[in-house]
Chain A
Amino acid sequence: MKLEDEKGFDITIIGGHDKDGNPEDLNLTIYSGEVVSIVGPTGSGKSQLLGDIEWMAQKDTPTGRKILINGQVPDVEKRFDIDSKLVAQLSQNMNFVMDVTVKEFVEIHASSRKIEDSEEVIEAIITQANQLAGEEFLEDTPITSLSGGQSRALMIADTAYLSKSPIVLIDEIENAGIDRKSALDLLVKREKIILMATHDPILALMGDKRLVIKNGGINKIIESTAAERKNLVLLEKLDKKLLMMRNKLRNGEIIDCIGWE
């Protein structure tokens, strides 16, 4: 099964129930090329929704949701097969437990994904990760000693280079102070389906659609409007300013002038 070659790839979420057992009235199909953001208060169930998709839930998760691929229930064997993974997931928890160096980690991951001659890819991943993170790490740094931001940067580069999966799930990329704009540019490829849980207004507005989660259920689906897209431009300007301030602070400078025009 070579899904990455297929053109019209889609995924359907069939509603289950919220945390109180109230039905989640929903039948949502997302098509390849779409970017969908997921918003909602902390603890509302954003990560759970991403988890349901990664698991290809068949009413066997706490939400009772059902996930279809191209309109069909995914085959049981395929669902759990690592070689034909449909979903790449950047989860919220980024604590590594394995006792290996950065290079070993990427190397083994590449071979687990059946990528031969990985030398070049490995180098590219580590270079890319270092560009995203602030402070440089080396290929023989143990992964367990990476900081939160460095781990995240490594996982993003790893996903961008090693994953052929047509669905990419991103959970709160804004945390840990990495350059989220370049991170997204790396991850968002045209033919893919992207779902992204976020508390960040810019990322939220970057979606074609956004799902609002409340009490464990999808409460609302909002299509982004022209006005919102215009505001996104303003927000991005604001954000650049903030980023500049952050970098100044990080480099030990004094913020004596904010410089609003």
Chain B
Amino acid sequence: MKLITVSGPPSTGKTSVIIKTIDHLSQKEIKVGVIKFDCLSTNDDILYKRKKIAVQVGISGGLCPDHFFVSNIEECFEWGLKEELDILISESAGLCNRCSPYLRGSLAVCIIDNLMGIHTPKKIGPMLRYADIVVITKGDIVSQAEREIFAYRVKEVNSKAKILFINGITGQGTLHLADLFMKEGERENLKDSKLRFTMPAALCSYCLGEMTVGKDYQIGNIKNINL
């Protein structure tokens, strides 16, 4: 089974792009399933089910969603094998701009959009920097010049990634993405596979439920601003 990790800030069109890409794969009788990671809630599973795509949802709730991703991905992979999928796609929303829920040896796709502002590529961090493919959506809303400038800024952060322009509404560009998915190698399992980048460190009293502000209540991995 191939594992493809897709991530990107909220509302950039991850689900639309994935669904439109799966449409092309389904036509070739390729069986694709999705595991959606989110923080608080998601309706995306309904969208996938409507398209008869096998889907599982993981809500991290009070936990850091990317820690939640690593600690669950192996079991998700096993679910995919049991479902006899050809491709398992993990979809996760990048929330703190510090994580990159990508594994070495699995294709990593980051989805961003043209409307995020010219400085955003620098701010997104590892999620963009460590992606193999960067998909840029909503190009139909801006001029060609702005598309070029935005892509240039993405290249400054990640010069190796392939940049794809995709229209999530019409699906223009997803055929190419589907072809790239097909070129991805097969994996037997995720035993001992490694993250591409460290997760943000967090082990302090607030991680454990502390709610009060103040020095006396802070224990563990604490960092203070130099004022």
Q: Which residues of A contact B (CB under 8 A)?
A: 51, 54-55, 58, 60-62, 76, 80, 82, 85, 88-91, 93-100, 105, 108-109, 111-113, 155, 158-159
Q: Which residues of B contact A (CB under 8 A)?
A: 114-115, 117-119, 140-146, 148-153, 163-165, 170, 172-173, 175-176
Q: What is the CB-to-nearest-CB distance from B226 to chain A, in angstroms, rounded to a whole number?
A: 28
In the bound assembly, the distance between CA atoms of A58 and B118 in angstroms comes to 30
Do B145 and A158 touch across chains, with their CB atoms under 8 A apart? yes
Additional pairs, 9, CB under 8 Å, beyond known A51-B140, A93-B140: A54-B144, A58-B175, A60-B175, A61-B170, A80-B164, A91-B143, A93-B141, A97-B114, A105-B149
> What 3 A-B pairs come out closest when comparing CB atoms?
A112-B152, A89-B144, A60-B175
Number of A-B contacts defined by CB within 8 Å: 71
Q: What is the CB-to-nearest-CB distance from B79 to chain A, in angstroms, rounded to a whole number?
A: 32
Do B145 and A155 touch across chains, with their CB atoms under 8 A apart? yes
| B contact face: mostly helix, strand, loop, or mixed | helix
- Which residues of B sit under 8 angstroms from A58, Cβ to Cβ? 175
Do B170 and A80 touch across chains, with their CB atoms under 8 A apart? no
Do A109 and B148 touch across chains, with their CB atoms under 8 A apart? yes
Do A111 and B143 touch across chains, with their CB atoms under 8 A apart? no
The answer, among A62, A76, A112, for a CB contact under 8 Å with B149, is: A112
Do B148 and A97 touch across chains, with their CB atoms under 8 A apart? no
- Which residues of A sit under 8 angstroms from B119, Cβ to Cβ? 99
Do B118 and A113 touch across chains, with their CB atoms under 8 A apart? no
- Which residues of A sit under 8 angstroms from B145, Cβ to Cβ? 105, 109, 155, 158-159
Q: What is the CB-to-nearest-CB distance from A191 to chain B, in angstroms, rounded to a whole number?
A: 20
Do B148 and A155 touch across chains, with their CB atoms under 8 A apart? no
Q: Which of B114, B119, B142, B163 neighbours the largest number of chain A CB atoms within 10 Å of its CB?
A: B142
Once A80-B163, A80-B165, A108-B152 are accepted as A-B contacts, the answer to whether A97 and B176 lie under 8 Å apart by CB is: no
In the bound assembly, the distance between CA atoms of A211 and B146 in angstroms comes to 29
Q: Which of B152, B163, B164 neighbours the largest number of chain A CB atoms within 10 Å of its CB?
A: B152
The answer, among A61, A82, A90, A96, for a CB contact under 8 Å with B146, is: A96
Once A61-B170, A96-B142 are accepted as A-B contacts, the answer to whether A82 and B117 lie under 8 Å apart by CB is: no
- Which residues of B sit under 8 angstroms from A98, Cβ to Cβ? 117-118, 146, 149-150
Q: Which of B141, B145, B163 neighbours the largest number of chain A CB atoms within 10 Å of its CB?
A: B145
Do A97 and B152 touch across chains, with their CB atoms under 8 A apart? no
Once A61-B172, A93-B143, A94-B143 are accepted as A-B contacts, the answer to whether A82 and B152 lie under 8 Å apart by CB is: yes
Q: Which of A55, A82, A94 neighbours the largest number of chain B CB atoms within 10 Å of its CB?
A: A82
The answer, among B144, B146, B153, B165, for a CB contact under 8 Å with A97, is: B146
Do B176 and A100 touch across chains, with their CB atoms under 8 A apart? no
Q: What is the CB-to-nearest-CB distance from B222 to chain A, in angstroms, rounded to a whole number?
A: 34
Do A111 and B175 touch across chains, with their CB atoms under 8 A apart? no
Chain B residue with the shortest CB-CB distance to A92: B143
In the bound assembly, the distance between CA atoms of A34 and B144 in angstroms comes to 22
In the bound assembly, the distance between CA atoms of A94 and B176 in angstroms comes to 28
In the bound assembly, the distance between CA atoms of A105 and B145 in angstroms comes to 9
Q: What is the CB-to-nearest-CB distance from A219 to chain B, in angstroms, rounded to a whole number?
A: 22
Do A62 and B143 touch across chains, with their CB atoms under 8 A apart? no
Chain B residue with the shortest CB-CB distance to A152: B143
- What are 11 inter-chain pairs, A to B, with CB distance below 8 A? A60-B172, A80-B163, A82-B148, A82-B152, A93-B142, A97-B146, A98-B146, A105-B145, A105-B149, A108-B153, A109-B149
Q: What is the CB-to-nearest-CB distance from A195 to chain B, in angstroms, rounded to a whole number?
A: 14
Q: What is the CB-to-nearest-CB distance from B182 to chain A, in angstroms, rounded to a whole number?
A: 13
